């Protein structure tokens, strides 16, 4: 059968406009109904697709207010304020707390973490609440992004399995011939479900990504740089103290010098350490003039 009608018309052209290609309307999978083909491998797959869409619909139905709510409660903006307005208000408030010496940086990987460097001036409770709201919003958004990404990967896996099942239809025993058309229609319908779920997830992921990047830019006020500067200053101070301590150590105890106290007589050790060179032996005295030894005859 020409390889199952050229791969079910390449799985109904990616399931776009597939209703006209397959000659069916809404399939059982699309209506969230159970499919009974008599083959557990197919029926279990269709059940997974139905459950997958239910999970996607649950998160796609979220208007992402939970991501914005902590900031909306702390800023002078309307509940339905646009993302640009919300981020602009956040930036203005961050500039205010920066005037008190508080600097912030938002790290987005591996999770949303807010770094805070405080100055000597204490800030009021309202500004403290703002800092908490920034971190709370970032964490909710980061969790949502991770959830959407995981669902997208799961949808990709279901799509790969859909193609594999479509190729197996031709190899089924003859007793399943009456179910062949049902299998083909549901395979195409599953593709439409997966495409719709992917579009919904991508739309949500795009919004969350824009929010996280915008929030990171809005709150950036130098905490990252302040931490680096503080580390460099600490390293330089430690090195300076070590150099001062080194100068107070006697020369014969410093690194690279000889071992122990200097030898008697003040003789310095040989270069590179080790025992000092021995003293040279004195020359013998000359014999008296005209003498031939200790006795004369």
Given a contact cutoff of 8 angstroms between Cβ atoms, the answer to whether 246 and 257 are in contact is no
Residue closest to 219 by CA, chosen among 90, 108, 115? 90
- pLDDT value for 40: 93
Other residues' Cβ atoms within 10 Å of the Cβ of residue 134: 24
The pLDDT assigned to 287 comes to 61
pLDDT score at 197: 97
Question: Which of 1, 37, 3 is CA-nearest to residue 189?
Answer: 37
pLDDT for 131: 94
pLDDT at 276 (0 to 100): 58
The pLDDT value given to residue 274: 56
**What distance in Å separates the CA atoms of residue 116 and residue 226, rounded to the nearest whole number?**
10
Residue 251 phi/psi, 5-degree rounding, is -60, -30
Residues of the chain with pLDDT under 70: 1-25, 225-297
Distance CA(32)–CA(51), nearest Å, equals 8
* Residue-level pLDDT at 148: 94
pLDDT at residue 270, as a whole number: 57
What integer pLDDT is reported at residue 102 of this predicted model?
Answer: 92
H or E segment at 18?
Answer: helix 18-22
Nearest residue to 215 (alpha-carbon basis) of 113, 98, 97: 113
């Amino acid at each position: 059968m020409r390889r199952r009608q050229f791969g079910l018309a390449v799985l109904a052209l990616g399931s776009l406009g597939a209703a006209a290609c397959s000659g069916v309307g809404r399939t059982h999978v699309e209506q969230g109904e159970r499919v009974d083909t008599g083959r557990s491998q197919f029926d279990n797959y269709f059940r997974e697709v139905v459950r997958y869409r239910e999970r996607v619909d649950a998160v796609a139905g979220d208007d992402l207010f939970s991501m914005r709510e902590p900031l909306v409660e702390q800023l002078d903006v309307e509940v339905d304020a646009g993302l640009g307005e919300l981020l602009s208000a956040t930036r203005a408030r961050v500039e205010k707390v920066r005037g008190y010496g508080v600097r912030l940086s938002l790290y987005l990987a591996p999770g949303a973490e807010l770094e805070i460097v405080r100055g000597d001036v204490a800030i009021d409770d309202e500004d403290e609440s703002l800092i908490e709201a920034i971190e709370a919003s970032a964490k909710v958004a980061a969790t949502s992004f991770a959830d959407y990404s995981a669902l997208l990967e799961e949808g990709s896996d279901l799509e790969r399995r859909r193609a594999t099942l479509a190729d197996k239809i031709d190899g089924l025993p003859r007793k399943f011939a009456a179910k062949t058309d049902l299998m083909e229609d549901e395979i195409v319908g599953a593709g439409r479900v997966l495409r719709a779920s992917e579009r919904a997830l991508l739309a949500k992921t795009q919004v969350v990504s824009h929010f996280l990047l915008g929030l990171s830019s809005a709150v950036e006020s130098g905490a990252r740089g302040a931490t680096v500067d503080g580390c460099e200053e600490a390293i330089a101070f430690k090195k300076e103290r070590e150099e001062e301590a080194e100068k107070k150590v006697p020369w014969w105890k410093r690194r690279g010098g000889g071992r122990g106290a200097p030898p008697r007589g003040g003789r310095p050790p040989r270069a590179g350490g080790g025992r000092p060179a021995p003293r040279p032996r004195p020359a013998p005295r000359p014999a008296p003039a005209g003498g031939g030894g200790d006795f004369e005859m």
